[in-house]
Chains A and B, each alone.
Chain A
Amino acid sequence: GAGVSQSPRYKVTKRGQDVALRCDPISGHVSLYWYRQALGQGPEFLTYFNYEAQQDKSGLPNDRFSAERPEGSISTLTIQRTEQRDSAMYRCASSLATGGFGEQFFGPGTRLTVL
């Protein structure tokens, strides 16, 4: 079956612009996670949804970052007024289990470059 998909795969933007990154989880997966990965490092947790409820946003670096999952399926991570330090790979993952403890399936990521 189809895995986690993310779009766009690559995004180049100018400093100060807003960007929206989309994640389409595996059908039926109730938990959804966003991570950010710098080059040569492991992914770092940003936020977690259980269905449409954002259960934890403690990993979001500042208030320019926000995420939503209004219907409990597709999620959007939005970065406002982008800065060069926001450049990274943004990864989405989903899992079948509620409560967020199950195996996480990762998407291919969105490579964000802020000029």
Chain B
Amino acid sequence: DAKTTQPNSMESNEEEPVHLPCNHSTISGTDYIHWYRQLPSQGPEYVIHGLTSNVNNRMASLAIAEDRKSSTLILHRATLRDAAVYYCILRDSSNSGYALNFGKGTSLLVTP
């Protein structure tokens, strides 16, 4: 399975943008890039996903490199509630890519 690499931790100031990187150099053409996050003491929650084009939703934006070997999750204005572990996950659409392979993720600290 294709793997992802993320920094262990990042820190941001409140109300500033945050760019969370993810490397996936062995990504295949049928892999979607998914992001989930896990707030303290809660279960993971879906954030966003994409295949080739950049994606926006109410929570975040996903910027995907042209060669698809990396992507960046963008939180436009970090709040204290965005402090969480963020997981970048590849899901293969060519078969039943149902199992989410979470890895260790990036722990985001947001300071006031």
Binding site for B on A (CB under 8 A): 4, 31, 33, 35, 41-45, 48, 55-56, 59, 91, 93, 99-101, 103-109
Question: Do residues B99 and A45 form an inter-chain contact, with CB atoms below 8 A?
Answer: yes
Q: Which listed residue (A59, A103, A107) contacts B99, Cβ 8 A?
A: A59
Q: Which listed residue (B43, B85, B87, B96) contacts A99, Cβ 8 A?
A: B96
Q: Which of B45, B93, B98, B100 has the most CB of A within 10 A?
A: B98
Q: Which listed residue (B36, B42, B93, B104) contacts A41, Cβ 8 A?
A: B104
Q: Which residues of chain B from 60 to 110 have any CB-CB distance to chain A below 8 Å in the complex?
A: 85, 87, 91, 93, 96-105
Range of interface residues on chain B?
20 to 34
Q: Which listed residue (A43, A55, A59, A106) contacts B96, Cβ 8 A?
A: A55
A contact residues around B43 at 8 Å (CB)? 4, 91, 93, 106-109
Number of A-B pairs whose CB atoms are under 8 Å?
58
Binding site for A on B (CB under 8 A): 36, 38, 42-46, 85, 87, 91, 93, 96-105
> What is the distance, in angstroms, from A60's C-beta to the closest C-beta of chain B?
12
Q: For the complex, give the distance between the alpha carbons of A43 and B99 in Å.
A: 10
Q: For the complex, give the distance between the alpha carbons of A55 and B96 in Å.
A: 10
Question: Do residues A101 and B97 form an inter-chain contact, with CB atoms below 8 A?
Answer: yes
Residue of A nearest to B91 (CB): A101
Residue of A nearest to B87 (CB): A42
Q: Which of A59, A91, A104, A107 has the most CB of B within 10 A?
A: A104
Q: For the complex, give the distance between the alpha carbons of A75 and B42 in Å.
A: 20
Task: A42-B85, A45-B99, A103-B46 given; name 4 further pairs at CB < 8 Å.
Answer: A31-B98, A43-B44, A45-B101, A100-B98
B contact residues around A43 at 8 Å (CB)? 44, 100, 102
> What is the distance, in angstroms, from B103's C-beta to the closest C-beta of chain A?
6
> What is the distance, in angstroms, from A30's C-beta to the closest C-beta of chain B?
11
